[in-house]
Structure 1
Amino acid sequence: MAFTVPTQHESRLLTLSRVELSLQRLRMLRELHRRGTVTAAATAMHYTASAVSQQLAQLERDVGASLFERLGRRVQLTELGMVLAEHAEEILGSVERATRALEEAQQTVSVRLTAGVWASVATGLLPSALTALATEHPGIQVRTRELAPEDTAGAVREGALDFSFVIDYSSYAMPWDAALSRAEIAVERLHAAVPAGALPAATVSLPELAEHPWILAGPRSHFGRAVRIACQRSGFEPTINHEVGEQTTALAMVAAGLGVTLVSDLGLSLCPPGVDVVALTEPVMRTVSIAYRTRDARRPSLQLVIEAVRAAAAAKGLGAQAAPSAGVQDPEHAQPWCSPTT
């Protein structure tokens, strides 16, 4: 990729007028410009900080000029760094638009997509969906990155992911980002996960679980907040003895007799021996969707991925409506965790 550097800047003559620049290094520069620290840029791109530092140092060598200066823990772009960062936004945007146009014009699709996933989707839907996709459309390669559900939509918006799985709960609808669209994939029930033999009945109400200690994700997580709200609406505040983010860990603690939690249909495969799954008398539902940038709505590869995942969900009896939905909010409990301001 050729990039023309201004031949004069603040009365300083630059002998270098044309350089070959790596798109990946330009992406790192863009993230550094947005976030201010190498660590934050590395986290956003799922690299180590040392790897990003090395690539940014190489970018300076490619350009032949200083692009950064350190101010404590933060890294500030020099004036030339700002010039290049501004052009990087334009260059990367042009490459993205060209990629979409080429894909739409091709009769066969050959592309690599990066998806944001979390445990129950990764185990319950993706294996069969990606196997079918590889058979029917071998040109589409899907790479996955496991993130907390709260983080995936923001990563799509910022370009770190091509699409991600997101969730809405009947007790807590997700605030939405106007730059993103979503296609509904599956509708699940939540069930009580309790130590084996703890509940003799085939069903249980949420209030009946009030006397048990709970194992639950923190209130800043979408799942943890949704379950807390469902319990509050049932008239009690759960006694949380163990605040655990990983569902597999929470279920292992249930199996050990340390408390109860809730688990979705897709999460049932994560339950170890020693866990009984009991239906709730008042259903708590959640909708799984694929989030993507609205400007990518016509990408054939994205639509083929959505079709494959919907087919996998339907095969499990979890199918959702086919039309993409607009975001909905519960005004009482909405928090803009995937809005541009977070």
Structure 2
Amino acid sequence: MDLSIPRLRMLRELHRRGTITAAATALHYTASAVSQQLAQLERDVGTRLFERRGRRVQLTDLGVLLAEHAEEILTSVERATQALEEAGESVAAKITAGVWASVASGLLPGALTSLARSHPGVVVRTRELAPEATAAAVRDGALDLSFVIDYSNYPMTWDRGLERAVIAVERLYAAVPAGAVPAASVTLAELAEHPWILSPARSHFGHAVRLACQSAGFTPRIDHEVEEQATAMAMVAAGLGVTLVTDLGLALRPPGVDVVALGEALTRTVSLAYRTNTARRAALMLVVDAVRTAAAEKGLGADTALPAPTTAEPDPAPVPDPAPSPDPVAAPAGRLGLR
């Protein structure tokens, strides 16, 4: 019997999440690709692992048994990988990191260039995700580590199975059309009459800014909801409204946008999250050190970081789950497709 590690990982996610659609989302594959690979796993073991329940599939008793062993197997593989890295004369590893736009453009180029010079055996591959989804992807094994954020007025709850290393502390500023605010600083209340350009309330950034505005005594009139700071500032440059921007986001500022200090102190802490059982993995710590150095070189050192949350429950991602869809396990094995 030949058990494929990727297929076992898919089986584990199906057991954890209950549907192929949810498992595929967690692993960043298409549902059809996961379905095909699970069907191949069933053929590999020569017994039924799934049974149909209407338009859904459910693990059989043997499927549950194999899924429970898959958890142990995958943990052992991770430990073996760490042991081999530690035993080598030089560190060699492939690390998959979750990123989003401002950290990918503002921190990673310098960090990865420096890392490649000092430790060429450490190869870092990145995957762009919404900040709200990154911690869960690390917890579930889809990523080795990922950037996560806490806002000074909206700290995240934390998972006991994860640790984090603080990388940077960013300030937030008002981004306004050129000439709209002639003063050197502005309070949020003074921006209350302007139209706003913000990310949706389900995002950490969008929620934190809405909370700050409410604390200042108003609910922002949001004319445009966009996901990225670069998009928001392009709309600010066109005179369509105001927004807030972080230190790393300033690198994305187009002409026609003034950046004005906020009267209120609003900051966010950027950290790298990784699983507790990988905390001794040398390659991970090399990546952490490289990114932390890149942040310090930009004046965003971690010495003024926010205190870590004291709660220890998993951070609920505010992004809604995709609509449920049929979960047939397809017969022919196919090529894995990335989302």
- Structure 2 length as normaliser, TM-score? 0.88
Asked if residue 337 in structure 1 is aligned to residue 316 in structure 2, the reply is: yes
The one-letter code sitting in structure 2 at the alignment partner of 1:215 is I
Query: Following the alignment from structure 1 to structure 2, what is the Cα–Cα distance between the partners of residues 207 and 323?
Result: 26
Matched residue, 1:303: 285
Q: Give the aligned length.
A: 318
Query: Following the alignment from structure 1 to structure 2, what is the Cα–Cα distance between the partners of residues 203 and 98?
Result: 54
| Higher deviation after alignment, 191-200 or 239-248 | 239-248
What is the deviation of 1:102? 2.2
Report if the CA contact (8 A) 2:152-2:306 is conserved: no
Query: Following the alignment from structure 1 to structure 2, what is the Cα–Cα distance between the partners of residues 335 and 205?
Result: 34
Query: Following the alignment from structure 1 to structure 2, what is the Cα–Cα distance between the partners of residues 257 and 187?
Result: 29
The one-letter code sitting in structure 2 at the alignment partner of 1:120 is S
* Match 2:231 to one of 227, 249, 260: 249
Matched residue, 2:189: 207
The one-letter code sitting in structure 2 at the alignment partner of 1:337 is P
Query: Following the alignment from structure 1 to structure 2, what is the Cα–Cα distance between the partners of residues 73 and 224?
Result: 36
* Match 1:109 to one of 91, 94, 97: 91
Equivalent residues in 2 for 1:166-315 (5 A)? Answer: 166-315=148-297
Asked if residue 76 in structure 1 is aligned to residue 46 in structure 2, the reply is: no
Q: 1:107 to 1:293 in 2, by over 3 A?
A: same
What is the deviation of 1:79? 2.2
What is the deviation of 1:328? 4.3
Report if the CA contact (8 A) 2:158-2:314 is conserved: no
Unaligned 5+ runs, structure 1: 1-18
Of the two structures, which has the highest relative contact order with CA contacts closer than 8 Å and spacing of 6 or more?
Answer: 2
* Match 1:58 to one of 12, 18, 40: 40
SS, match of residue 166 in structure 1: strand
Percentage identity across aligned positions? 72
1:198-253 per-position Cα deviation (integer Å, ceiling 9, x unaligned): 22222211111111011111222111111111112222221112222232222222
Report if the CA contact (8 A) 1:187-1:320 is conserved: yes
Matched residue, 1:34: 16
* Match 2:134 to one of 109, 133, 152: 152
The one-letter code sitting in structure 2 at the alignment partner of 1:304 is L
The one-letter code sitting in structure 1 at the alignment partner of 2:316 is W
Query: Following the alignment from structure 2 to structure 1, what is the Cα–Cα distance between the partners of residues 231 and 123?
Result: 30
SS, match of residue 159 in structure 1: coil
The one-letter code sitting in structure 1 at the alignment partner of 2:10 is M
The one-letter code sitting in structure 1 at the alignment partner of 2:271 is S
SS, match of residue 108 in structure 1: coil
Q: What RMSD in Å do the two structures reach over aligned CA positions?
A: 2.2
The one-letter code sitting in structure 2 at the alignment partner of 1:198 is A
Report if the CA contact (8 A) 2:169-2:305 is conserved: no
Q: 1:25 to 1:35 in 2, by over 3 A?
A: same
1:146-170 per-position Cα deviation (integer Å, ceiling 9, x unaligned): 1111111111111111111111111
Report if the CA contact (8 A) 1:66-1:78 is conserved: yes
Query: Following the alignment from structure 1 to structure 2, what is the Cα–Cα distance between the partners of residues 101 and 325?
Result: 32
SS, match of residue 90 in structure 1: helix
Report if the CA contact (8 A) 2:198-2:227 is conserved: yes
Q: 1:337 to 1:201 in 2, by over 3 A?
A: same
Report if the CA contact (8 A) 1:191-1:264 is conserved: yes
Name which one, 1 or 2, has greater alpha-carbon Rg. 1
Report if the CA contact (8 A) 1:175-1:338 is conserved: no
Matched residue, 2:102: 120
